[in-house]
Amino acid sequence: MKKFNVLKLVQYLVVIGITLNGSLFFYDLNKQHIKEKSALQEKHKEEIKELELENEKHVQELIQKEEKIENLVTERDELKDIVKSSRGESDRWERFRVSAYDLSVQSCGKKKTDKAYGITANGTDLKGQNWETARAIAVDPTIISLGSKVKIRFIDENYSQYDFIYTAVDTGKLIKGNKLDFFYEDTGEIVSQKAMDFGITYAYIQILY
């Protein structure tokens, strides 16, 4: 009968113990790693959720701001429409007959010694001015309100140098309907030859405000 080798048995048991302890150690280590990884994932989920909530908040704020801007634009347009409607004005281009005038007695019926010489229907002083400095027109106030800004585009290209924005400052007995008188220059009581040469032409006008 073979002798039982105690030393080998002890060595064998030691190896098994080390193996088991090592396995348990790595098992615990892996378990801890999984736990930490899970906690980190949960933390990331919370951070992502917070970012999503913050982003949604910003989106809602932007939507509210856009709605406010749209409402303001709508209110502005409605007010403009109300004002234009009350004045009988519109954004449309309309065809007008255009002539020119000066401050002579023949044009305005006032002498240079008159206190009202050069003063228009709305109080604008045209003395010493010309069409470039004054940018003034006489209109039918039932069609275009005094003080209105009017954009003029002449149909004849020979008049294109006069395509500008003018202010309705005056009226006239002969200015009725779709007619307007273009102030050319102040030459005193003498009729302006340039105003005479301007003649009669046609233009499209747009009432701005």
For the chain, give every domain's residue range. Answer: 1-87, 94-207
Confidence grade of residue 152 (pLDDT, cut at 50, 70, 90): very high
Give Cα separations from 22 to 11, 25, 35, 60 (angstroms). 16, 5, 20, 56
Q: How confident is the model at residue 202 (pLDDT cuts 50, 70, 90)?
A: very high
- Residue 101 scores a pLDDT above 90: yes
Give pLDDT, residue 195. 92
pTM of the model: 0.56
Q: What is the SS3 string spanning 35-101?
A: HHHHHHHHHHHHHHHHHHHHHHHHHHHHHHHHHHHHHHHHHHHHHHHHHHHHHCCCCCCEEEEEEEE
The pLDDT value given to residue 107? 84
CATH number of 94-207: 2.40.40.10
pLDDT of residue 56: 76
With a cut of 60, say whether residue 38 has pLDDT above it: yes
Burial of 98 from C-beta contacts in 10 A (0-12 / 13-18 / 19+): buried
